[in-house]
């Protein structure tokens, strides 16, 4: 009886990890379905983004798919810069890592998109700007 009680926490941990893995796999499948046919797509812990047909769209991944928060036309884009996450309007430094946000300014409005990793955010913004420059 005592040996069975010792294995019970491991069984609970296994069930929880299996459930979390299944949820993440489902989240990724919903993102891949939403991003199909996009020129550029990104799935982050906070948000999903894509560049498709000259529009950048993003939103959180919910139980039924990506719930679009915003959509912006690339040809209206004025500024695209990475900002520090918690420091107000301070641009992100080159050596910074951790959470940050992408600020897009277009048509007089400023939109902030959260990123969970600054290194990947820099790579994604570089790729985005290389593709957007062709469309501007």
**Burial group, residue 100, by CB count within 10 angstroms (0-12, 13-18, 19+):** buried
Q: What is the pLDDT of residues 54-78, one digit of tens each?
A: 888 989 888 888 888 888 888 878 8
| pLDDT tens track for 94-135 | 667 778 888 888 888 888 888 888 888 888 888 888 877 655
Can you tell me which residue has the tokens 């996450």? 85
Q: How many domains does the chain have?
A: 1
What pTM does this model have?
Answer: 0.78
Domain containing residue 74: CATH number: 2.30.29
Domain range for residue 32? 2-135
Q: What is the pLDDT of residue 89?
A: 64
Which ranges constitute the DSSP H helices of the chain?
A: 2-35, 118-135
Give every CB contact of residue 59 below 8 A, 6+ residues apart in sequence: 47, 48, 66, 67, 68, 69, 70
How deeply is 65 buried, as exposed, middle or buried, from its count of CB atoms within 10 A (0-12, 13-18, 19+)? middle
């Amino acid at each position: 009886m005592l040996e069975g009680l010792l294995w019970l926490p491991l069984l609970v941990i296994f069930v929880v990890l299996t459930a979390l893995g299944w949820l993440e796999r489902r989240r990724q499948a919903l993102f891949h379905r939403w991003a199909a046919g996009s020129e550029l797509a990104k799935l982050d812990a906070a948000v999903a983004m894509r560049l498709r047909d000259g529009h950048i769209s993003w939103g959180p991944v919910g139980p039924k798919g990506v719930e679009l928060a915003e959509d912006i036309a690339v040809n209206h884009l004025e500024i695209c810069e990475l900002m520090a996450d918690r420091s107000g309007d301070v641009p992100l430094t080159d050596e910074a890592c951790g959470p940050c946000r992408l600020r897009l300014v277009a048509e007089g409005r400023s939109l902030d998109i959260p990123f969970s990793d600054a290194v990947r955010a820099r790579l994604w913004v570089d790729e985005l700007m290389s593709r957007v420059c062709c469309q501007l």
